[in-house]
Amino acid sequence: MTSPSMFDANSLDRNLGMELVRVTESAALAGGLWAGRGDKIGVDGAAVRAMRDTLNTVNLRGTVIIGEGEKDEAPMLANGEKVGNGWGPEVDVAVDPVDGTRLCAEGRPNAISVMAIAAAGSMYDPSAFYYMKKISTGPEAADAIDVDASVEENIKNVAKAKNKSVRDITVVVLDRPRHDDLQAAIREAGAKVRLIADGDVAGAVAAAKHGNSVDLMMGIGGTPEGIITAAAMRCMGGAIQGRLWPKTDEEIARAESGQYDTDKVLHTNDLCSTDDCFFCTTGVTNGDMVGGVSFRSHGAYTRSLVMRGTSGTIRFIEGFHRLEKLQALSNEYARGLPQIGSL
């Protein structure tokens, strides 16, 4: 006799993860055509069009909760935009067609195309607060972090939870002037700093990945990336905590009006309240989490990572894309760039 399924029959179909890989692959391929060409808007525009077109073929009824581009005044899938083909489950959607557009434009590593979906109503809506103070780690130390605690206390608690010496703890930090004091505090506590130029989703996932060389991510980064990271943490068993960090005069006024509680600590469950979610990413340029797009005379190779919250399954996928099919992407999204076969 077959035992009943351990999963809710109403949860998102497990095969949906493979459809999402197609979405991030298409964005990575289109954005990758612009790698090293010095044009951030070109990268974003190509990736957004490819992601939207492919996402609208997927069987889902999605609402974009996080569209990312508003923060950077770049091409984007707009917050509130309806995506999917109108069939299938209702879901919240968080996307960043290229997390690390500057990295891609300058030909630097660690640019990724990334998205997350979750059952409708389960993703936090930051309402145009674009930045947050964040701390994130993997499952071994998920209960050891506290965004309100000192840098030294967090590092000591994570080291204890992971059965490591403080001197062996590595903290991922965005390389920004606002983090000069944070870097100093990490080193004063005895730990090591790993600076990244952009892309703190990749940094957070790296810190949560078992056996990786980093243990913790700290600092002020994008709120959109925080929600996407929360979906990844639901899949990986890690944790993220954050607090909204008003930056512009408009955000400060909104916070002072009492509409939003900027003192509230937002935990993983606040940012993504269900395990019924997926996280998917494809490398645009080579990185620590996944390799980038490799264009060849006969086609292109992509490297992707897809995770499912319900089962906790993590899959690495390598794809090969034929030249004649890619050429359509080149014509559609590259706007005058060289033919793929000549790259």
Q: What is the CATH number of the domain that holds 73?
A: 3.30.540.10
The answer on pLDDT for 262 being more than 70 is yes
- pLDDT value, residue 125: 86
- pLDDT value, residue 343: 40
Say which range, 93-107, 121-135, 280-294, has the weakest mean pLDDT.
Answer: 121-135
3-state secondary structure 192-208: EEEEECCCHHHHHHHHH
Residue 150 lies inside a defined structural domain of this protein? yes
Instruction: Say whether both 290 and 323 belong to one domain.
Output: yes
Instruction: Say whether both 172 and 265 belong to one domain.
Output: yes
Q: Quote the CA–CA distance of 79 and 14 in Å, as a whole number.
A: 26
**How many domains would you assign to the chain?**
2
8 A C-beta contact, residue 330 and residue 33: yes
Instruction: Say whether both 191 and 87 belong to one domain.
Output: no
Say which range, 29-33, 141-145, 173-177, 334-338, has the weakest mean pLDDT.
Answer: 334-338
Instruction: Say whether both 141 and 267 belong to one domain.
Output: yes
260 known member of a binding site: no
- pLDDT value, residue 2: 38
Indicate the residue among 253, 271, 289 that finishes a domain. Answer: 271
Mean pLDDT of the chain: 88
The amino acid at 207: A
Q: What is the CATH number of the domain that holds 139?
A: 3.40.190.90
44 known member of a binding site: yes
Instruction: Say whether both 44 and 115 belong to one domain.
Output: yes
Mean of pLDDT values over 203-207: 90
Residue 339 lies inside a defined structural domain of this protein? no
137 known member of a binding site: no
Mean of pLDDT values over 156-179: 96
Instruction: Say whether both 251 and 306 belong to one domain.
Output: no
- Count of positions (residues) in the chain: 343
Between 237 and 76, the higher pLDDT residue: 237
3-state secondary structure 284-328: CCCCCCCCCCEEECCEEEEEEEEEECCCCEEEEEEEEEEHHHHHH
8 A C-beta contact, residue 274 and residue 124: no
96 known member of a binding site: yes
Per-residue model confidence as pLDDT tens digits over 70-91: 555 555 688 889 999 999 999 9
36 known member of a binding site: no
Instruction: Say whether both 92 and 222 belong to one domain.
Output: no
92 known member of a binding site: no
Residue 232 lies inside a defined structural domain of this protein? yes
The DSSP element (H or E) to which 334 belongs, if any, is: none
- pLDDT value, residue 57: 93
> 341 pLDDT band (50/70/90 cuts)?
very low
8 A C-beta contact, residue 111 and residue 44: no
* Closest C-alpha among 178, 256, 160 to residue 216: 160
Residue 343 lies inside a defined structural domain of this protein? no
109 known member of a binding site: no
- pLDDT value, residue 7: 45
Instruction: Say whether both 66 and 102 belong to one domain.
Output: yes
Mean of pLDDT values over 42-58: 92
Indicate the pTM of the whole model: 0.88
* Closest C-alpha among 284, 242, 247 to residue 264: 242
CB neighbour burial string for 106-132, b if at least 16 within 10 angstroms, e if fewer = bebbbbbbbbbbbbbebbbebeebbbb
- Sign for the pseudo-dihedral over CA of 119, 100, 315, 86: positive
Percent helix, strand, coil in the chain, to 5, is: 35, 25, 40
Beta strand extents in the chain (DSSP E only): 61-66, 82-83, 90-99, 112-119, 131-137, 170-174, 192-196, 216-222, 239-244, 266-267, 277-283, 294-296, 299-308, 313-322
Say which range, 77-81, 192-196, 239-243, has the weakest mean pLDDT.
Answer: 77-81
Instruction: Say whether both 252 and 326 belong to one domain.
Output: no
263 known member of a binding site: no
Instruction: Say whether both 147 and 258 belong to one domain.
Output: yes
Per-residue model confidence as pLDDT tens digits over 117-149: 999 999 998 876 889 999 999 999 999 999 999
Q: Quote the CA–CA distance of 220 and 178 in Å, as a whole number.
A: 8
Domain span at residue 296 reads 15-122+277-330
Residue 1 lies inside a defined structural domain of this protein? no
177 known member of a binding site: yes
